[in-house]
Amino acid sequence: MDKQTIENQYLKINKFFGQLVGVWPFQERFIKTCMRFIVSVIMLLDLATQISRVIVFYSFDVFSDQIPYLNAAIICLFKEYNYVLNENKLRELLNDIISDRLIRRSKKELEILELYSRKATTLCILYKVMVYSCAFMFLVIPTIPPILNIVAPLNVSRSREFIYPTYYFVDEQKYYYPILMHMIAAILVLSSIYLACDTNLVQVVHHGCALLAISGYHFKHAVDDVKICDENYITLMDETYTRVRHSIKAHRTAVEYVDKIDACHIYYFLLTIGMIVLTFTGTFVKLSTMEMGIRFFTFCAYTAAQLTHLFFLTIMGQFLINANEEIFRTIYEARWYNGSSKTQSLYVLVLRKCLTFPKLTGGGLIILNLNSFVQILKASFSYYTVFRS
Protein backbone atom coordinates (compact mmCIF):
# COMPACT_ATOMS: atom_id res chain seq x y z
CA MET A 1 0.00 0.00 0.00
CA ASP A 2 1.40 3.41 -1.02
CA LYS A 3 0.54 7.04 -0.21
CA GLN A 4 -1.83 7.44 -3.18
CA THR A 5 -3.78 4.31 -2.24
CA ILE A 6 -4.20 5.48 1.35
CA GLU A 7 -5.45 8.88 0.19
CA ASN A 8 -8.01 7.32 -2.15
CA GLN A 9 -9.14 4.70 0.34
CA TYR A 10 -9.24 6.57 3.66
CA LEU A 11 -9.23 10.28 2.75
CA LYS A 12 -11.41 10.22 -0.36
CA ILE A 13 -14.08 12.69 0.82
CA ASN A 14 -11.49 15.10 2.27
CA LYS A 15 -9.43 15.02 -0.91
CA PHE A 16 -12.37 15.55 -3.28
CA PHE A 17 -13.89 18.58 -1.52
CA GLY A 18 -10.48 19.92 -0.44
CA GLN A 19 -9.37 20.10 -4.07
CA LEU A 20 -12.62 21.84 -5.03
CA VAL A 21 -11.96 24.75 -2.67
CA GLY A 22 -8.15 24.72 -2.61
CA VAL A 23 -7.50 23.51 0.93
CA TRP A 24 -6.06 20.09 0.07
CA PRO A 25 -2.37 20.58 0.98
CA PHE A 26 -1.06 18.03 -1.56
CA GLN A 27 -2.76 19.71 -4.53
CA GLU A 28 -0.67 21.31 -7.29
CA ARG A 29 0.17 24.90 -6.35
CA PHE A 30 -1.21 26.58 -9.50
CA ILE A 31 -4.56 24.77 -9.40
CA LYS A 32 -4.80 25.31 -5.66
CA THR A 33 -4.19 29.05 -6.06
CA CYS A 34 -6.80 29.31 -8.82
CA MET A 35 -9.43 27.49 -6.73
CA ARG A 36 -8.72 29.70 -3.74
CA PHE A 37 -9.06 32.81 -5.89
CA ILE A 38 -12.41 31.69 -7.34
CA VAL A 39 -13.74 30.76 -3.92
CA SER A 40 -12.60 34.06 -2.40
CA VAL A 41 -14.19 36.14 -5.17
CA ILE A 42 -17.53 34.34 -4.90
CA MET A 43 -17.68 34.47 -1.09
CA LEU A 44 -16.38 38.04 -0.70
CA LEU A 45 -18.88 39.29 -3.29
CA ASP A 46 -21.61 37.42 -1.46
CA LEU A 47 -20.53 38.95 1.86
CA ALA A 48 -20.36 42.44 0.32
CA THR A 49 -23.91 42.25 -1.07
CA GLN A 50 -25.25 41.12 2.30
CA ILE A 51 -23.46 43.90 4.19
CA SER A 52 -24.65 46.47 1.62
CA ARG A 53 -28.26 45.46 2.28
CA VAL A 54 -27.81 46.04 6.01
CA ILE A 55 -26.19 49.45 5.39
CA VAL A 56 -28.63 50.71 2.73
CA PHE A 57 -31.85 49.51 4.42
CA TYR A 58 -30.65 49.58 7.99
CA SER A 59 -33.15 48.72 10.70
CA PHE A 60 -33.19 46.17 13.50
CA ASP A 61 -35.49 43.90 11.49
CA VAL A 62 -33.20 43.99 8.46
CA PHE A 63 -30.14 43.34 10.60
CA SER A 64 -31.73 40.44 12.50
CA ASP A 65 -33.01 39.02 9.20
CA GLN A 66 -29.50 39.11 7.73
CA ILE A 67 -27.58 37.69 10.72
CA PRO A 68 -27.95 33.97 9.86
CA TYR A 69 -26.78 34.44 6.27
CA LEU A 70 -23.90 36.73 7.27
CA ASN A 71 -22.89 34.20 9.90
CA ALA A 72 -22.79 31.35 7.37
CA ALA A 73 -20.59 33.37 4.98
CA ILE A 74 -18.21 34.59 7.72
CA ILE A 75 -17.80 31.13 9.27
CA CYS A 76 -17.20 29.81 5.77
CA LEU A 77 -14.31 32.26 5.34
CA PHE A 78 -12.98 31.33 8.81
CA LYS A 79 -12.89 27.68 7.75
CA GLU A 80 -11.27 28.35 4.39
CA TYR A 81 -8.53 30.68 5.63
CA ASN A 82 -7.84 28.68 8.77
CA TYR A 83 -6.57 25.88 6.56
CA VAL A 84 -4.95 28.29 4.09
CA LEU A 85 -2.93 29.95 6.88
CA ASN A 86 -2.27 26.62 8.63
CA GLU A 87 -1.57 24.66 5.47
CA ASN A 88 1.74 23.29 6.76
CA LYS A 89 0.12 22.12 10.01
CA LEU A 90 -2.68 20.40 8.11
CA ARG A 91 -0.16 18.77 5.76
CA GLU A 92 1.74 17.46 8.77
CA LEU A 93 -1.43 16.05 10.35
CA LEU A 94 -2.46 14.29 7.15
CA ASN A 95 1.10 13.06 6.52
CA ASP A 96 1.07 11.50 9.98
CA ILE A 97 -2.11 9.60 9.10
CA ILE A 98 -0.50 8.30 5.92
CA SER A 99 2.84 7.43 7.52
CA ASP A 100 1.15 5.65 10.44
CA ARG A 101 -0.68 3.52 7.87
CA LEU A 102 2.59 2.63 6.14
CA ILE A 103 4.32 1.48 9.35
CA ARG A 104 4.43 -2.28 9.88
CA ARG A 105 2.02 -2.94 12.74
CA SER A 106 0.53 -5.87 14.61
CA LYS A 107 -2.86 -7.26 13.65
CA LYS A 108 -4.53 -5.71 16.70
CA GLU A 109 -3.10 -2.26 15.95
CA LEU A 110 -4.38 -2.46 12.37
CA GLU A 111 -7.80 -3.46 13.68
CA ILE A 112 -7.87 -0.38 15.93
CA LEU A 113 -6.88 1.88 13.03
CA GLU A 114 -9.55 0.31 10.82
CA LEU A 115 -12.20 0.70 13.52
CA TYR A 116 -11.61 4.42 13.95
CA SER A 117 -11.26 4.89 10.20
CA ARG A 118 -14.71 3.36 9.67
CA LYS A 119 -16.14 5.60 12.40
CA ALA A 120 -14.62 8.66 10.73
CA THR A 121 -15.93 7.65 7.29
CA THR A 122 -19.43 7.05 8.66
CA LEU A 123 -19.46 10.42 10.40
CA CYS A 124 -18.21 12.14 7.23
CA ILE A 125 -21.01 10.55 5.20
CA LEU A 126 -23.64 11.62 7.74
CA TYR A 127 -22.24 15.15 7.76
CA LYS A 128 -22.25 15.23 3.97
CA VAL A 129 -25.92 14.24 3.93
CA MET A 130 -26.71 16.99 6.44
CA VAL A 131 -24.88 19.66 4.41
CA TYR A 132 -26.46 18.51 1.14
CA SER A 133 -29.92 18.56 2.72
CA CYS A 134 -29.43 22.08 4.05
CA ALA A 135 -28.08 23.31 0.69
CA PHE A 136 -30.97 21.68 -1.19
CA MET A 137 -33.45 23.36 1.14
CA PHE A 138 -32.08 26.80 0.15
CA LEU A 139 -31.71 26.00 -3.54
CA VAL A 140 -35.40 25.06 -3.93
CA ILE A 141 -36.67 28.37 -2.49
CA PRO A 142 -36.74 30.14 -5.93
CA THR A 143 -38.79 27.25 -7.38
CA ILE A 144 -41.61 27.54 -4.82
CA PRO A 145 -43.49 30.58 -6.29
CA PRO A 146 -43.61 29.14 -9.87
CA ILE A 147 -44.82 25.81 -8.54
CA LEU A 148 -47.49 27.48 -6.40
CA ASN A 149 -48.58 29.56 -9.40
CA ILE A 150 -49.36 26.29 -11.17
CA VAL A 151 -50.74 24.30 -8.23
CA ALA A 152 -52.65 27.09 -6.48
CA PRO A 153 -52.91 30.07 -8.90
CA LEU A 154 -53.93 33.53 -7.73
CA ASN A 155 -55.32 36.50 -9.67
CA VAL A 156 -51.74 37.73 -10.05
CA SER A 157 -48.53 35.75 -10.25
CA ARG A 158 -46.51 35.47 -7.09
CA SER A 159 -43.29 37.48 -6.97
CA ARG A 160 -40.02 35.71 -7.66
CA GLU A 161 -37.97 34.66 -4.65
CA PHE A 162 -34.24 34.83 -4.09
CA ILE A 163 -32.36 32.23 -2.08
CA TYR A 164 -31.45 34.74 0.63
CA PRO A 165 -31.77 38.54 1.03
CA THR A 166 -29.04 40.71 -0.53
CA TYR A 167 -28.61 44.03 -2.31
CA TYR A 168 -26.70 44.23 -5.64
CA PHE A 169 -27.23 47.95 -6.49
CA VAL A 170 -29.12 46.97 -9.67
CA ASP A 171 -32.70 46.24 -10.67
CA GLU A 172 -33.10 42.83 -9.03
CA GLN A 173 -36.03 41.77 -11.22
CA LYS A 174 -34.26 42.77 -14.44
CA TYR A 175 -31.09 40.93 -13.44
CA TYR A 176 -32.88 38.17 -11.56
CA TYR A 177 -31.16 35.21 -13.23
CA PRO A 178 -27.54 36.52 -13.03
CA ILE A 179 -28.10 37.29 -9.35
CA LEU A 180 -29.66 33.88 -8.83
CA MET A 181 -26.68 32.19 -10.52
CA HIS A 182 -24.28 33.94 -8.14
CA MET A 183 -26.37 32.89 -5.15
CA ILE A 184 -26.41 29.27 -6.34
CA ALA A 185 -22.62 29.40 -6.82
CA ALA A 186 -22.23 30.84 -3.29
CA ILE A 187 -24.37 28.05 -1.77
CA LEU A 188 -22.39 25.36 -3.62
CA VAL A 189 -19.04 26.88 -2.63
CA LEU A 190 -20.16 27.30 0.98
CA SER A 191 -21.29 23.66 1.14
CA SER A 192 -18.00 22.47 -0.35
CA ILE A 193 -15.97 24.49 2.17
CA TYR A 194 -17.94 23.11 5.11
CA LEU A 195 -17.44 19.57 3.84
CA ALA A 196 -13.76 20.00 2.97
CA CYS A 197 -12.78 21.56 6.30
CA ASP A 198 -15.00 19.64 8.69
CA THR A 199 -14.26 16.21 7.20
CA ASN A 200 -10.55 16.99 7.66
CA LEU A 201 -11.29 17.66 11.32
CA VAL A 202 -13.16 14.34 11.61
CA GLN A 203 -10.26 12.37 10.12
CA VAL A 204 -7.49 13.90 12.22
CA VAL A 205 -9.50 13.67 15.47
CA HIS A 206 -10.35 10.01 14.92
CA HIS A 207 -6.75 9.24 14.04
CA GLY A 208 -5.73 10.86 17.33
CA CYS A 209 -8.26 8.66 19.13
CA ALA A 210 -6.84 5.60 17.34
CA LEU A 211 -3.29 6.45 18.45
CA LEU A 212 -4.49 6.85 22.05
CA ALA A 213 -6.32 3.50 21.86
CA ILE A 214 -3.21 1.77 20.46
CA SER A 215 -1.06 3.09 23.30
CA GLY A 216 -3.69 1.89 25.78
CA TYR A 217 -3.59 -1.57 24.21
CA HIS A 218 0.21 -1.67 24.67
CA PHE A 219 -0.06 -0.66 28.32
CA LYS A 220 -2.70 -3.29 29.02
CA HIS A 221 -0.68 -6.19 27.61
CA ALA A 222 2.86 -5.09 28.51
CA VAL A 223 2.94 -7.24 31.66
CA ASP A 224 0.82 -10.18 30.52
CA ASP A 225 3.79 -12.60 30.33
CA VAL A 226 5.08 -11.94 33.84
CA LYS A 227 4.64 -14.58 36.53
CA ILE A 228 6.24 -14.38 39.95
CA CYS A 229 7.33 -18.02 39.91
CA ASP A 230 9.08 -17.89 36.53
CA GLU A 231 12.72 -18.98 36.55
CA ASN A 232 13.60 -16.20 34.12
CA TYR A 233 11.91 -13.56 36.23
CA ILE A 234 14.71 -11.00 35.93
CA THR A 235 14.85 -11.36 32.16
CA LEU A 236 11.07 -10.98 31.91
CA MET A 237 11.23 -7.88 34.09
CA ASP A 238 13.69 -6.28 31.68
CA GLU A 239 11.52 -7.18 28.69
CA THR A 240 8.43 -5.89 30.43
CA TYR A 241 10.14 -2.62 31.33
CA THR A 242 11.14 -2.21 27.66
CA ARG A 243 7.55 -2.82 26.51
CA VAL A 244 6.21 -0.28 28.99
CA ARG A 245 8.73 2.28 27.76
CA HIS A 246 7.57 1.55 24.21
CA SER A 247 3.97 2.09 25.38
CA ILE A 248 4.92 5.42 26.93
CA LYS A 249 6.53 6.48 23.66
CA ALA A 250 3.35 5.56 21.76
CA HIS A 251 1.26 7.54 24.26
CA ARG A 252 3.53 10.58 23.95
CA THR A 253 3.23 10.40 20.15
CA ALA A 254 -0.57 10.31 20.45
CA VAL A 255 -0.64 13.29 22.85
CA GLU A 256 1.66 15.30 20.58
CA TYR A 257 -0.59 14.55 17.62
CA VAL A 258 -3.67 15.80 19.51
CA ASP A 259 -1.75 18.93 20.51
CA LYS A 260 -1.01 19.55 16.83
CA ILE A 261 -4.73 19.27 16.04
CA ASP A 262 -5.50 21.86 18.70
CA ALA A 263 -2.75 24.18 17.44
CA CYS A 264 -4.17 23.99 13.91
CA HIS A 265 -7.73 24.91 15.01
CA ILE A 266 -7.41 26.81 18.28
CA TYR A 267 -8.44 30.31 17.10
CA TYR A 268 -10.83 28.96 14.49
CA PHE A 269 -12.83 27.20 17.21
CA LEU A 270 -13.00 30.36 19.32
CA LEU A 271 -14.13 32.60 16.44
CA THR A 272 -16.65 30.05 15.18
CA ILE A 273 -18.22 29.51 18.59
CA GLY A 274 -18.52 33.28 19.07
CA MET A 275 -20.29 33.63 15.70
CA ILE A 276 -22.62 30.73 16.50
CA VAL A 277 -23.67 32.33 19.82
CA LEU A 278 -24.41 35.59 17.97
CA THR A 279 -26.38 33.74 15.29
CA PHE A 280 -28.45 31.71 17.72
CA THR A 281 -29.35 34.87 19.62
CA GLY A 282 -30.37 36.74 16.47
CA THR A 283 -32.25 33.77 15.03
CA PHE A 284 -34.25 33.21 18.22
CA VAL A 285 -35.22 36.89 18.29
CA LYS A 286 -36.25 36.76 14.62
CA LEU A 287 -38.26 33.56 14.97
CA SER A 288 -40.21 34.99 17.90
CA THR A 289 -41.48 37.85 15.70
CA MET A 290 -41.95 36.12 12.33
CA GLU A 291 -45.21 34.92 10.80
CA MET A 292 -45.57 31.44 9.34
CA GLY A 293 -44.21 31.28 5.79
CA ILE A 294 -41.33 30.23 3.61
CA ARG A 295 -38.77 32.33 5.47
CA PHE A 296 -40.00 31.13 8.86
CA PHE A 297 -39.43 27.49 7.96
CA THR A 298 -36.12 28.42 6.35
CA PHE A 299 -34.99 30.03 9.61
CA CYS A 300 -36.13 26.95 11.56
CA ALA A 301 -34.21 24.61 9.27
CA TYR A 302 -31.16 26.87 9.36
CA THR A 303 -31.26 26.92 13.18
CA ALA A 304 -31.36 23.12 13.21
CA ALA A 305 -28.40 23.02 10.81
CA GLN A 306 -26.36 25.40 12.97
CA LEU A 307 -27.27 23.39 16.06
CA THR A 308 -25.98 20.28 14.30
CA HIS A 309 -22.81 22.14 13.29
CA LEU A 310 -22.17 23.26 16.87
CA PHE A 311 -22.80 19.73 18.15
CA PHE A 312 -20.43 18.40 15.49
CA LEU A 313 -17.60 20.71 16.61
CA THR A 314 -18.01 20.07 20.33
CA ILE A 315 -18.36 16.30 20.00
CA MET A 316 -14.94 16.15 18.31
CA GLY A 317 -13.42 17.30 21.59
CA GLN A 318 -15.62 14.85 23.50
CA PHE A 319 -14.29 11.96 21.39
CA LEU A 320 -10.74 12.77 22.51
CA ILE A 321 -11.78 13.09 26.15
CA ASN A 322 -13.53 9.72 25.96
CA ALA A 323 -10.45 8.14 24.35
CA ASN A 324 -8.25 9.47 27.17
CA GLU A 325 -10.65 8.15 29.82
CA GLU A 326 -10.60 4.77 28.10
CA ILE A 327 -6.78 4.73 28.29
CA PHE A 328 -6.89 5.59 32.00
CA ARG A 329 -9.30 2.72 32.61
CA THR A 330 -7.26 0.32 30.47
CA ILE A 331 -4.00 1.14 32.27
CA TYR A 332 -5.66 0.78 35.66
CA GLU A 333 -7.05 -2.65 34.70
CA ALA A 334 -3.67 -3.92 33.44
CA ARG A 335 -1.65 -6.36 35.56
CA TRP A 336 0.82 -3.69 36.54
CA TYR A 337 1.09 -5.21 40.02
CA ASN A 338 3.02 -8.17 38.52
CA GLY A 339 5.80 -5.86 37.31
CA SER A 340 8.85 -4.68 39.16
CA SER A 341 8.76 -1.53 41.28
CA LYS A 342 10.49 0.32 38.46
CA THR A 343 7.79 -0.77 36.01
CA GLN A 344 5.01 0.09 38.44
CA SER A 345 6.41 3.59 38.85
CA LEU A 346 6.10 4.08 35.07
CA TYR A 347 2.43 3.12 35.24
CA VAL A 348 1.89 5.64 38.04
CA LEU A 349 3.51 8.37 35.97
CA VAL A 350 1.34 7.57 32.95
CA LEU A 351 -1.82 7.57 35.06
CA ARG A 352 -0.80 10.96 36.39
CA LYS A 353 -0.23 12.18 32.84
CA CYS A 354 -3.73 11.02 31.84
CA LEU A 355 -5.22 13.38 34.43
CA THR A 356 -4.01 16.32 32.30
CA PHE A 357 -5.62 14.96 29.16
CA PRO A 358 -5.07 16.28 25.60
CA LYS A 359 -8.03 18.35 24.43
CA LEU A 360 -9.39 20.67 21.80
CA THR A 361 -9.98 24.24 22.92
CA GLY A 362 -11.27 27.52 21.60
CA GLY A 363 -8.37 29.92 22.06
CA GLY A 364 -7.33 27.97 25.14
CA LEU A 365 -10.43 29.38 26.90
CA ILE A 366 -13.20 26.91 26.05
CA ILE A 367 -12.73 23.15 26.19
CA LEU A 368 -14.73 21.50 23.42
CA ASN A 369 -17.00 18.84 24.89
CA LEU A 370 -20.70 18.17 25.36
CA ASN A 371 -20.79 20.34 28.48
CA SER A 372 -19.56 23.27 26.36
CA PHE A 373 -22.33 22.53 23.88
CA VAL A 374 -24.93 22.92 26.64
CA GLN A 375 -23.27 26.04 28.06
CA ILE A 376 -23.19 27.71 24.62
CA LEU A 377 -26.91 27.07 24.17
CA LYS A 378 -27.61 28.46 27.64
CA ALA A 379 -25.61 31.59 26.86
CA SER A 380 -27.51 32.06 23.57
CA PHE A 381 -30.89 31.78 25.33
CA SER A 382 -29.72 34.20 28.01
CA TYR A 383 -28.75 36.82 25.42
CA TYR A 384 -32.04 36.19 23.60
CA THR A 385 -33.95 36.85 26.83
CA VAL A 386 -32.09 40.12 27.32
CA PHE A 387 -32.90 41.29 23.78
CA ARG A 388 -36.55 40.31 24.12
CA SER A 389 -36.91 42.16 27.42
Please choose, from the candidates 255, 267, 207, 270, the residue with its C-alpha nearest in 3D space to the C-alpha of residue 356: 255
Q: Specify whether the CB–CB gap between 14 and 200 falls below 8 A.
A: yes
State residue 89's pLDDT score: 92
Q: What's the rounded Cα separation, in Å, for the pair 330 and 294?
A: 53
Q: Where are the domains of the chain?
A: 3-388
219 touches 330 (CB < 8 A): yes
Q: How confident is the model at residue 163, as a pLDDT?
A: 85
Quick check: 92 and 260 in contact, CB under 8 A? yes
Q: Could you tell me what percent of the chain has a pLDDT over 90?
A: 23
CA-to-CA distance for 231 and 236, rounded, in angstroms?
9
Q: Model-level pTM?
A: 0.86
Distance CA 105, CA 211 (A): 12
Between 182 and 336, the higher pLDDT residue: 182
Give tens-digit pLDDT for 358-387: 888 888 788 888 888 888 888 877 777 776
Residue 188: what pLDDT? 92
Which residues on neighbouring strands pair with residue 367, listed in sequence order? 361
94-116 pLDDT, tens per residue?
998 888 888 887 888 888 888 99
- pLDDT one-digit tens code per residue, 156-177: 777 788 888 888 888 888 888 8
pLDDT at res. 290: 66
Dist CA 183 CA 47 (whole Å): 11
Q: What is the DSSP string of 243-264?
A: HHHHHHHHHHHHHHHHHHHHHH
pLDDT band for position 195 (50/70/90)?
A: very high
Please tell me the distance from the alpha carbon of residue 220 to that of residue 224, in angstroms, as a whole number: 8
The yes-or-no verdict on residue 231 having pLDDT over 60 is no
Q: Among 78-82, 343-347, 379-383, name the one with the lowest average pLDDT.
A: 343-347
